[in-house]
Amino acid sequence: MTEPTLGWVDLEVADEFPELRLIEMPVDASPGRSPESVRDHLRYLSNRYRGAQAVAQRQAPVPWAYRVFYRHVGLDPDADRTPAEAAMLDRLMHGGFKSENLVDDALLIALVETGVPIWALDATRVDGPLGVRVARAGERLGRAEAAPPVLDGRLVVADAQTPLAVLFGELAPGHGVTADTQAMRLFSVQVAGVPSIHVEEALWQCADVLVESA
């Protein structure tokens, strides 16, 4: 596997959020059903994060840093929940972390273990390095025919051509992992208060699950 690499952040965004980073990592892996070892890992995490622990997790330094960043960009973390809090809420509602598929399970394991969110794109549908910038007037999310518009001024994750994800939001249609995916581009977003080692650990954990379970 290739080491994680630093993406780019547009100067306009970097001036306002100097500690914002995007880190990406290519992984040669295909989606599929999670093996028993991955489902066992989710069961272990479900037992580790029961009611009180799941509620208290939002106060941990890394999840809290994402809550703070949400407020800085105009998002209400109590309405638009951070990925870590959304995962814990799902755990409480379903009585455990539910296995979906290998990709979603790998992303979830990394998120719960580190508090750092990761997203996965189909590597063949990404043009060049990923970065963070402000959406421009009239832009659409991705290059699919039915790509939805992006609000002007919204922070997005983009490649050399178009936005591929709303920052902490939805991925562009046609650019996520599908049944035909042979290689992925994982990416994460580091904000103020989140150590680089946590982000790299999250990416490695996710990649390890994907590669070892393929």
Could you tell me the residue range of the domain that residue 74 belongs to? Answer: 5-213
Output the domain CATH number for residue 15: 3.50.40.10
Q: Closest Cα partner for 91 from 140, 57, 137?
A: 57
Contact between 103 and 182 under an 8 Å Cβ cutoff? The reply is: no
Q: Which two tokens stand for residue 114?
A: 């580190």
pTM of the model: 0.95
Query: Which ranges of the chain would DSSP assign to H, the alpha helix?
Result: 11-16, 36-48, 51-56, 61-72, 83-94, 102-114, 196-213
pLDDT tens digits, 59-91? 789 999 999 999 999 999 989 999 999 999 888
pLDDT tens digits, 180-210? 999 999 999 999 999 999 999 999 999 999 9
pLDDT tens digits, 6-42? 999 999 999 999 999 999 999 999 999 999 999 999 9
Number of domains in the chain: 1
